Amino acid sequence: MVEVALFKPDIPQNTAAIVRTLACFESKLHIIEPCGFNLDDQRFKRVVMDYTNLVKIYRYSDFSDFIKKNPTKKIVLFTTKSDQSLYNFKFSKSDIILFGRESAGVPEEVHLKVNDRIKIPMQKEARSLNISTAVGIGLAEAIRQTKTFE
């Protein structure tokens, strides 16, 4: 199953909504620290409810640690700075789809370390989607392509 990674997430409600989505599709979550909140945060707990029991959550001290501990995985970065649409990208079941920080995306050094960068096409006047919505769209397309849930 395609897995999801969050780079330094900073809004607990968004991360909680992502956990719930991943629970529904038996996916795993990778959190690249520092996380902008504690997983005991009441805002996180209010949205996540009891879904944390259904999702395996891995935590990494930084992006280098994440890469080192996932050497065989293809990391696919979702970014507004790409020209390639997710609909023209070929997902594999072993991919990890990476999403940047809500407030700042990912730094240039992460862009340089990731070979695959894709975007969700949308109108030019809009800056970006909410990260939990973007994860849902990206995961749904990866599931569709890999025929994980049929």
* pLDDT digit string, tens, across residues 78-133: 999 999 999 999 999 999 999 999 888 999 999 999 999 999 999 989 888 999 99
Stated pTM of the model: 0.95
Q: Supply the pLDDT for residue 37.
A: 86
| DSSP character at residue 80 | T
Q: Domains in the chain, start-ordered, CATH in brackets?
A: 3-146 (3.40.1280.10)
Q: What is the mean pLDDT of residues 125-150?
A: 93
Written as one letter, the residue type at 127 is R
Pair of tokens at residue 76: 């696919």
Greater pLDDT, 39 or 142? 142
User: pLDDT tens digits, residue range 26-68?
Assistant: 999 999 999 988 888 888 888 878 888 999 999 999 999 999 9
Query: 9 CB contacts (<8 Å, ≥6 apart)?
Result: 15, 31, 35, 36, 37, 101, 102, 131
